[in-house]
Structure 1
Amino acid sequence: MSVEALVRGLPPHPIGLEEWDALPEGLPAKVELLEGVLMVWSRPSARHQRLAVLVMNALDAVLPPEWCAVPELDVLIEGGPTPTVRAPDVVVVRTATADERTRQDPADVLLAVEVQSPGSRRTDRVAKLAEYAEVGIAHYLLVEPGPPVVLTELVLDDGAYRLVAEHRGTASLALGATVDLDALDR
């Protein structure tokens, strides 16, 4: 299905979770739902995807068995008649919920990672930052693809994100993972 066909086939009103769930798999674009409105993003670049995999693998290597790092699982930010569903580039979720469902409840999400793309900076640094904090996601990583690659590490503290560090080169994260951010440019 093309992006145009997808957009043409949508009803001219905000959609609910039932219609969201009915969308076909394997769409040619990244799709999120913002207060019932379908948000269609172009597929990320190879560099973007490689950065996401680099961070995901580093996280997954240090997580205890009850947690796992996975790409682009849907996270339900808000339900109701006009839901919001985000798909972070990487999420750390309870292994049991990752295996049994694709849409995650934020209570089962430990960390969200967004790799910035052209046009996503404000969404990632303002909108998603506020949404993820509001639903209680404990850790948030923002990755600027550079060069140089910069990884901003934030931790939830009393309902708002607090800056832990802005990493360049080698990032030693609070969760115990080490990410060689320069590996992509070697």
Structure 2
Amino acid sequence: MTAEVRRNHLMSLNEWDAMPEDMCRRHELVDGVLQVIASPFPRHQRAATKLAYCLDEQLPDHLTAVIDVDVALKSGMRATVRRPDVVVLSVENYGDGDRHLDAADVLLVVEVVSPGSERTDRVVKPAEYARAGIAHYWLVELGDPFSLTAFELVDDVYKHVEGGTGTVELTRPVPLTFDLDALLRRR
């Protein structure tokens, strides 16, 4: 099935789901408006991929980490679908054949900040993720030094709870340890 993309038309979640997969790959849907997102730089993609792998290796068996998937934050005629860099969810909610993940099934979203996405990743997306009720949000900065800031949803607002540079030990949502500097190393 295909969907027609029309200008001056607010898309619903059903219309989003009907779009061809290759059309959605570099788009997000924000309040019903289709937005083109830039392809990530190679260092951004490497960091996100390695972080997802490190996460997946350390997560308990009932959780998994995936990259570059659609997460429906809001449905209806003014739907919002974001594509976080990394998502953690329960294994039972992964791979059920749906086009998108529902925010209610997501435990953690991770955004790796790239040039041009700073405001969106630091301000806009956290507000949307919080409204959708996603319990944990991490922000990874690839500056000098690399840093990870972990937030937890408290009273509908993200509060900074943990983070750091170099080797980071986290307790939320589960105990995890990362060498942030290794995210860009090949091996």
TM > 0.5 = yes
Q: Where does 1:42-57 land on structure 2 (aligned, <5 Å)?
A: 42-57=38-53
CA RMSD of aligned residues (A): 1.9
Give the number of aligned pairs. 179
Calculate percent identity across the aligned residue pairs.
48
Whichever residue aligns with residue 146 of structure 1, its letter is G
* Distance in structure 2 (CA, Å) of the matches to 1:35 and 1:111: 22
User: Match for residue 82 of structure 1?
Assistant: 78
TM-score normalised by length of structure 1: 0.88
Q: Contact 1:61–1:177 at 8 Å: present in 2 too?
A: no
Does residue 65 of structure 2 align to residue 66 of structure 1?
Answer: no
Q: Are 1:178 and 2:177 counterparts?
A: yes
Q: Pick one of 2, 6, 11 that aligns with 1:11.
A: 6
Residue 147 (1) aligns with residue 154 (2): no
Of residues 114-123 and 176-185 in structure 1, the stretch that sits farther from structure 2 once superposed is 176-185
For the Cα contact (< 8 Å) 2:108–2:135, is it kept in 1? Answer: yes
Query: Which digits, 9 at most, give the CA deviation of each residue in 1:24-50, with x for residues without a partner?
Result: 223496211001101111110110011
SS at match of 1:82: coil
CA distance in 1, matches of 2:24, 2:124: 24
Give the TM-score normalised by structure 2. 0.88
Contact 2:43 2:184 in 1 (8 A): no
Contact 2:17 2:99 in 1 (8 A): no
Deviation per residue, 1:122-149 (Å, 9 max, x gap): 1111111111111211111101112321
Against the structure 1 CA distance between its residues 76 and 82, is the aligned structure 2 distance closer, same or farther, given a 3 Å change threshold?
same
Report the more deviating stretch, 54-63 or 113-122: 54-63
Matching residue's letter, 1:118: P
Distance in 1 (alpha carbons) for counterparts of 2:112 and 2:91: 22
Structure 1: gaps (5+ residues): 1-8
